[in-house]
A and B are shown apart, each in its own frame.
Chain A
Amino acid sequence: GAVVSQHPSWVICKSGTSVKIECRSLDFQATTMFWYRQFPKQSLMLMATSNEGSKATYEQGVEKDKFLINHASLTLSTLTVTSAHPEDSSFYICSARPVGTDYYGTDTQYFGPGTRLTVL
């Protein structure tokens, strides 16, 4: 159980194009999904927290107009990298927190397999 998928798993695009990454919780519902970015040999950097039916909360320094997040259902969140540039090339990972696990003793998050984005 607790499987999270991401699509695509890797993508190569030209500079200036937009790329959409999907994050799905396959066997549970998630009120909250998180989007992370990880550069080579560095740790996870939280980009934004996405709650179903409401606007995402972005971390300081993350441009919300560049990284558009939509969390339209309890099983799907999308991240769109708009007008991608080579410096956006990174490993993008989503995670999902199951419904009903927001309280002490049960809270956790399950990670998707990641999407490797290369912008030429």
Chain B
Amino acid sequence: QKEVEQNSGPLSVPEGAIASLNCTYSDRVSQSFFWYRQYSGKSPELIMSIYSNGDKEDGRFTAQLNKASQYVSLLIRDSQPSDSATYLCAVKTGNQFYFGTGTSLTVIP
């Protein structure tokens, strides 16, 4: 079983809509969770980190964590074409970071 699982997509949403990205993880003791954005040919860029159950908002981005269900999600409000990228979910367990395979998002103008 993979440590971190994401739907590979592609996920397409119209401009202005809400994009919802989901991630599940296998290890209950995982405590730190991250979302990265990666444009094609570029390295990942940190968008959000979340450590406690509930929602964390930063601008148009909201991360949601539910440790009991072992999932973490990312909502992007008012999606823009510039949000088109691959979004990587990362989970830190112990001293190790585990990455999902990423979800490809396309925002259609």
Contacts and interface: CB of A to CB of B under 8 A. Distances in A.
Given A113-B42, A114-B42, A114-B43, A108 B51 contact: no
A44 B92 contact: no
Interface string A87-120: 0000101000000001011011111111000000
Contacts of B101: 42-43
Interface residues of A, number: 19
Interface residues of B, number: 21
Contacts, number: 42
Interface in A22-47: 34, 42-44, 46
- Classify the secondary structure of A's interface with B: loop
A34 B44 CA distance: 13
Interface of B: 31-32, 34, 36, 41-46, 49, 51, 88, 92, 95-97, 99-102
